[in-house]
Structure 1
Amino acid sequence: MMTTRSMRRRIAALAAAAVLLAAAACTDSPGDAGTVKVGLLVSLSGTYTTVGEDMQRGFKLYLDTHGGKLGGRKVDLIVGDEGDGPATAVPAAQKLLERDRVVALTGLVGGATVDKVQTLTTAKKIPLVGANARPAFAPVGGKARDLTYTWHTSYNSDEPGIAIASHIKAQVGDGEVYAIGPDYQGGYDELRGFTDTFTKLGGKLANPDGKTVFTPFPTTENFLPYLNKAAQEKPKAVYTFYAGAAAVAFVKQYAQSDLKDVPLYAAGFLTEGSVLTAQGPAATGIRNVLNYSPTLPNPANQQFVAAWSAAGHTGQPTTFAMASYDAAAVLDRALAAVDGDVTGEELNKAIGEVGRIVSPRGDWQFEPTEHRPVQRWYLREVKADGPVLSNVLVQDLTTLPAS
């Protein structure tokens, strides 16, 4: 039987969702201007399945609360499986671009996938609106990458570490920090952002030779040998990045290791979404950094959380769902600005003119050169929020990229 408090929460959630639906029905978008095909490429198998599923839910939530339309056009959403990286993702992207002839591609969980797929979308002059990892693109043939058709509603993969480095330096003082992460592009970017910034601030790494320890990806399931070896260096704190199934194993084994009493800091993906439920009490006290928290008090987030609940999704919305929701919002605004038939070139131009996006994370806009969000980053801590564990907002950290 529901308590009075539970009933009030449910009624409030439904009311807020109704507001979203009513607002969607009263937008300034033009009438039905035909159907457009949009490709959503996310991990529906492999290590990051939970991330991909949340991204799919976020994009579909926006569609569902906007009558199945973006910019007044009915959307034919075609979903592809990214799997664990380029080997699966590239053929799936080629199908979406060449056979399905989508006008935009969104999603993409992994940085290595983005690195490969953005060359395909650029060649086809189709906008890529990525909604998760974005690598620091290496030059090709000595020349900077052409990012004209590459946009992201998420972040650069090195930004979480950059955002939290100053806070950790203040916490450890003259103490040393041990850095550990997965051996692939996302791990390199995430850990480099932290270690480069931390050491520039005068911080010292506890790692032998001052080099991050990288664990084999995606094969590492037993982290205890790495963690117990790290404990021998007597660090004042540990910084890490893992996500998906690896994050569950890492957190549970950390609590069993010789490091269990050493403060653990992380990019927020370590405890984001369903992995936090799987980690349980072992995650309590982990401090992490991300561009979103479900406890942010702004009206857009309160409506987003209510709509998420009203849609029947368990748990709280994640940054993965939020960024994908915002990708749909960007496409909504851009498609509304395109007259007549939609081409990749016209849509891409319109994306560049969407301006400020009112978002659950707080308002943001695209940085004009690299096409990534200028946004706030937040310090969060895993603690009880009522009957469940949550990444509770502690404080603002910084805005990136810095002006």
Structure 2
Amino acid sequence: MFKPKHAVLAAVLCSALVAQAADPVKVGIALDISGPFAAAGAEARDGFDLAIETLGGKLGGQPAEFLKTDFAGNPEQANQLVTRYLQRDKIDFFTGPIASNSALAVGPALFAAKVPFISSNPGPSQFAGKQCNPFFFGQYQNDTYDEAAGKFANEKGYKNMVIIAPNYPAGKDHLNGFKRIYSGALKDEIYTKVGQIDYAAEIAQIRAAKPDAVFFFLPGGMGINFIKQYIGGGLKEIPLVAPGFSADQDVIQAVGEPMLGLYNTAHWTHDLPLPANAAFVSAFRKKYDGRYPTVYAAMAYDAIMAMDAAVRDVGGKLDDRAAVAKALAKPSFKSVRGEFSYGANNNPVQNYYLRVVEKDAEGKLTNKLVGTVMEKHQDAYVGECAL
């Protein structure tokens, strides 16, 4: 039988163990709900929120705390946010930025701390190639959407094109991906400012070039303004081709009828005939007033589900960061995109699809699945990764 002082000590130890067991899984989420990527950031936020609600606020059956902070798409502010997440909040996982420049800014600190960075959007070429890291997990690599678009442009027989994107890391990756596959001639390659809203000069350049078609990567508000001005400038007869980010539901809703018939490529679409995807889309539309989810929302949802599976697969032992990374590298959750695996650089090997903007049975403008452009496609940088 314990002596009184032993009983007190035992009680203290028991309380400490209970407190330790109750510590929540902590997730740092950098939101872009203001700034140049606000439209995409709002979509990602809604995907995160739905996943968190679906899981009852837990990860792997354990209590979880989701720390969501807007950093306005500013890489410097993102760095400050991640420093706080690491030093004060002691996060177990990180996700959230929309832009590749933000991902590149925060990656080194996260990797040094061995905190898994599950991307909810950006797939910079640097993290797929020479700067790959066992603690970074992509949802796609930037170039791949555009490689699929380049293949589609070849199949359509476009002999000469103009390509356009913002002048930042993702913009360069997206145009490089298109150029890697497209076999026709480029009449012009145009880089714009991030967050630009007036495209009169660029549209004049396109008009003068007289291409067969235009490929553009201008996500969110940039794409909305570009398409409106493009059609308003009388270029409707020159087809537009895009990666899904420039022709997703956020852009479609804002632009309206001029989006009809616009072809775009993505690794996911809301009408993929998969049980997990159907459940996600149904829940999203129910929660958000009938709105179709975008790629941003789908990837944010998958990012949380990936964390959930990893926590479960390591039995909640998050202190073993190497084991957590290995669990993430072998995804065991039902992704809304269907089956996929990770290449040696922790970027996915997966299908890429062709979508076209049409009207659904309710008369709403949305993307519809046309077919598969690339099957089990791996990015072009995996050979540069030393993992």
User: Shorter-chain TM-score: which interval?
Assistant: 0.7 to 0.9
- Equivalent residue runs for 1:77-92 within 5 Å: 77-92=66-81
**For the Cα contact (< 8 Å) 1:274–1:315, is it kept in 2?**
no
Q: State yes or no: 1:64 paired with 2:53.
A: yes
- Equivalent residue runs for 1:159-170 within 5 Å: 159-170=144-155
In the other structure, the counterpart of 1:149 is 135
Instruction: Compute the displacement of 1:33 (Å).
Output: 6.3
What CA distance in whole angstroms lies between the structure 1 residues aligned with 2:44 and 2:179?
A: 29
Q: Deviations over 1:81-130 (max 9, x none)?
A: 23223122111111111111111101221111111211111111111011
SS in 2 for 1:163: helix
**For the Cα contact (< 8 Å) 1:228–1:258, is it kept in 2?**
no
SS in 2 for 1:266: strand
**For the Cα contact (< 8 Å) 1:176–1:206, is it kept in 2?**
yes
- Equivalent residue runs for 1:15-164 within 5 Å: 34-137=23-126, 144-152=130-138, 154-164=139-149
Q: State yes or no: 1:321 paired with 2:297.
A: yes
Which of these residues, 313, 337, 340, is aligned with residue 337 of structure 1? Answer: 313
In the other structure, the counterpart of 1:195 is 179
**For the Cα contact (< 8 Å) 1:81–1:88, is it kept in 2?**
no
Which of these residues, 181, 185, 193, is aligned with residue 216 of structure 1? Answer: 193
Q: Deviations over 1:184-223 (max 9, x none)?
A: 111111111001221xxx311121xxxx1101222x2111
Q: Deviations over 1:275-332 (max 9, x none)?
A: 2111111211211111111122222111111111222344101111111111111111
What CA distance in whole angstroms lies between the structure 2 residues aligned with 1:378 and 1:134?
A: 18
Q: State yes or no: 1:371 paired with 2:352.
A: no
Pair 100,58 (structure 1): closer, same or farther in 2 beyond 3 Å: same
**For the Cα contact (< 8 Å) 2:330–2:341, is it kept in 1?**
no
What CA distance in whole angstroms lies between the structure 2 residues aligned with 1:256 and 1:340?
A: 55
Identity of aligned residues (%): 29
What CA distance in whole angstroms lies between the structure 1 residues aligned with 2:112 and 2:289?
A: 37
What CA distance in whole angstroms lies between the structure 2 residues aligned with 1:106 and 1:261?
A: 40
What CA distance in whole angstroms lies between the structure 2 residues aligned with 1:178 and 1:331?
A: 40
Q: State yes or no: 1:184 paired with 2:184.
A: no
Q: State yes or no: 1:350 paired with 2:327.
A: yes
SS in 2 for 1:255: helix
Which of these residues, 376, 381, 386, is aligned with residue 356 of structure 2? Answer: 381
Give the structure-2-normalised TM-score.
0.87
**For the Cα contact (< 8 Å) 2:32–2:41, is it kept in 1?**
yes
**For the Cα contact (< 8 Å) 1:158–1:189, is it kept in 2?**
yes
SS in 1 for 2:232: coil
What CA distance in whole angstroms lies between the structure 2 residues aligned with 1:237 and 1:104?
A: 42
Which blocks of at least 5 consecutive residues in structure 2 are unaligned? 1-20, 383-387
Give the structure-1-normalised TM-score.
0.84
- Of structures 1 and 2, the larger Rg is shown by 2
What CA distance in whole angstroms lies between the structure 2 residues aligned with 1:297 and 1:354?
A: 20
Q: State yes or no: 1:246 paired with 2:222.
A: yes
Give structure 1 regions of 4+ aligned residues with deviation exceeding 3 angstroms: none
| Equivalent AA in structure 1 for residue 211 of structure 2 | P
What CA distance in whole angstroms lies between the structure 2 residues aligned with 1:138 and 1:69?
A: 29
SS in 1 for 2:121: coil
Which of these residues, 326, 330, 337, is aligned with residue 361 of structure 1? Answer: 337
Instruction: Compute the displacement of 1:172 (Å).
Output: 2.4
What CA distance in whole angstroms lies between the structure 2 residues aligned with 1:308 and 1:99?
A: 33
What CA distance in whole angstroms lies between the structure 1 residues aligned with 2:316 and 2:240?
A: 53
| Equivalent AA in structure 1 for residue 27 of structure 2 | V
Instruction: Compute the displacement of 1:358 (Å).
Output: 2.1
Which of these residues, 182, 187, 193, is aligned with residue 206 of structure 1? Answer: 187
